[in-house]
Structure 1
């Protein structure tokens, strides 16, 4: 392994609101409603509901739960990123006991984009190389007809569609969890996180850079961890 010399001092790595307020929030759809606790023998010993321990991290400190949680998260399959969410996320995960209320995280995600002043979905289509949608039918190039019809009943005009909502309805790209515009924004952001950050660990000739032998040791350990 050698140093990566592609650091770009003119590339802005600042996190965009479209990433944190919409595109990356799509991962909430991949969350399952439970977490498996898995033993060292790779057997599921128990299962907990997310809503029972949200904001209650003390369960991780009990007995050997930390290792069991870690193994569970590494072996448990995620859900597909789409318009479907587990009820643990949409109805139960965040509770306000004193008010006897449960908060819908999906609604929060939608409202967050509006609070951030995110442009509508149509703007992100153009930003990511797609044609501007003049009508609802123009959206069929990225999503199923039934989803387009649903959007036309909710929104008065195609320019009113929330980026977060439409992004979840896009067909996922081959080999990706995400559709076109979400993949576009997330991919651009991770590119900037890496090549716009002079402290990224693979870069050489920077203040605080690793020595080459240290970098190779990190790569070796990473490969070992992946195999385990």
Structure 2
């Protein structure tokens, strides 16, 4: 509600309240609530039909459908080019007028849900047809006039314009201000893109070093990771792996100035879309309610309470759930998922719901992830040349299933095969996912100059005393301080109770002394 009020205030301040055609935000429960509350403040805003979920995915899928139907391929022989362009022109003429008559999947239907979406699709198809005709003129036969030329007056851009002139944008392939479509000075990068993505790490390095125009997301080379052997022999990559790869410093005293401005800190697509999603397998379908004496007093079914936070306000449910998360055993890290996630996800009043596993697989396709084999090559792991060679890290039964589902080894998807690998001893993931996770958290730490343990810049660093207090913090103490009826907690809250991890009074757990943050200049 607060977000909706603040957003509404901004709309009024900038006189935009009556100009909204649609709003796109991530597909999260809080954002759904945000759209619902905004609809109350803006009577003309339809929170159901003008809320576009994951619009970037929708656009990506729409473009993929167009390209798949056109199947454009440029041949080197001029006669083949001419014949191809004639064939492709027939495809466009056949496809564009009859797109509404095709058998649309959910992504096409998304565009038709609102007038805004219908106009967007219609205008996109019109513009695509214009661009295709220009493409045909350029590539049809040798000696063709090519793309139409435009004088400088047409291609001038007013940097102060509030509205983008898309006709200018498409008509002017390149401008001095950098608007429009950039042209490469050589063909090395295009040549690389014709190869399987990341099939050979050296190809990637060579291509990026030769290309004058750098594409950061393609040229972010995974660093060599200590302890990740080419042949996947047994190795403790859990706690030891984090220490060996400088992700944590358990005995640290003082600053750890490991910030490196040359490390790319952004999130890897393989991490966000594959490796991190693997841990959905740990979800239990029923959450236990645990009393202060650590007795089971009840349990709640997940799908009964999706998008229903009222549970947290009922009796002692919040406290009992918090304790339950420190007592209940998580599910196993394997290929098997709880049916609450694969059959009843967000089912609401229906008999069945969604399938989170299927959603994860489709998300990997939407994001254009590299194949399982190519990803292993990119991270310096052994690359199987046949299904049989996967048996060192995937069971023979699962290899047979993969072979029956995929036509070739190169087709096997990272999201699928990565979850089938045997877990590395001491860790909850197989070698491929663990390599991705290690690389990601190294980048997140070392590439962030604001990381809390950095002390190189005194203007942004914590003082040594503040840093020492922060290192006292723990999940156990956090739960003690924020859950009303928790008075006992094991020191390592996310590990189950054991003789080495027994319940202790909250007062015995180290606490952060906030007095070290007092501004002594004004608080005397």
Aligned residue number for residue 51 of structure 1 = 303
Asked if the contact 2:256/2:454 (under 8 Å) is kept, the reply is: yes
Aligned-pair CA distance for 1:100:
5.9
What is the alpha-carbon distance in structure 2 between the residues aligned to residue 54 and residue 112 of structure 1? 21
Aligned to 1:211: 463
Partner of 2:401: 150
Q: Which runs of 5+ in 2 are unaligned?
A: 1-252, 478-489, 492-503, 505-524
Aligned to 2:447: 196
SS at match of 2:333: coil
Per the alignment, residue 70 of structure 1 pairs with 322
Number of the residue aligned with 2:421: 170
Shift of 1:138: 1.3
2:290 pairs with 1:33: no
- Name whichever of 172-181 and 73-82 sits farther off: 73-82
Q: Deviations over 1:183-218 (max 9, x none)?
A: 010111111111111121111133432111111112
Return the index of the structure with the highest Cα Rg.
2
Q: 1:142-180: CA deviations, max 9, x gaps?
A: 111111111101111011111011011101001000001
Q: Which residue number corresponds to residue 366 of structure 2?
A: 115
Residues 82-132 of structure 1: CA deviation (Å, up to 9, x unaligned): 1100000101122254x7651111000000000000011001111222232
Q: 1:223 to 1:120 in 2, by over 3 A?
A: closer
Question: Which segments of 5 or more consecutive residues in structure 1 lack a partner in the other structure?
Answer: none
State the partner residue of 2:353.
Answer: 102
Match of 1:140 among 382, 387, 391: 391
CA separation of 1:64 and 1:204: change in aligned 2, threshold 3 A? farther
Deviation track 1:48-94 (CA, whole Å, cap 9, x = no partner) reads 11111112122122233222212111222112211100000101122
Please give the TM-score of this superposition, normalised by the length of structure 2. 0.42
Distance 1:220 1:28 in 2: 30
Q: Distance in 2 between matches of 1:224 and 1:171?
A: 31
Deviates more, 1:53-62 or 1:81-90: 53-62
Name the SS for the 2:288 alignment partner.
strand
2:419–2:430: 8 Å Cα contact kept in structure 1? Answer: yes
Conserved? CA contact 1:38–1:68, under 8 Å? yes
Secondary structure of 1:9's aligned partner:
coil
Is the contact between residue 94 and residue 105 of structure 1 (CA under 8 Å) also seen in structure 2?
Answer: no
Q: Is the 8 A contact 1:33 1:88 kept in 2?
A: yes
**Within 2, Cα distance between the matches of 1:149 and 1:223?**
43
Counterparts in 2 of 1:22 and 1:217: CA distance versus 1, 3 Å: same
Is the alpha carbon distance of 1:171 and 1:224 closer, same or farther for their aligned partners in structure 2, counting shifts above 3 Å? closer
Find the aligned partners of 2:378 and 2:393 in 1 and give their Cα distance.
15
The worse-fitting range, judged by mean Cα deviation, of 205-214 and 77-86 is 205-214
Higher relative CO (CA 8 A, sep ≥ 6), structure 1 or 2? Answer: 1
Cα distance in 2 for partners of 1:16, 1:127 equals 13
Q: Quick one: structure 1 residues 69 and 96, their matched pair in 2 at CA, closer, same or farther if it must change by over 3 Å?
A: closer
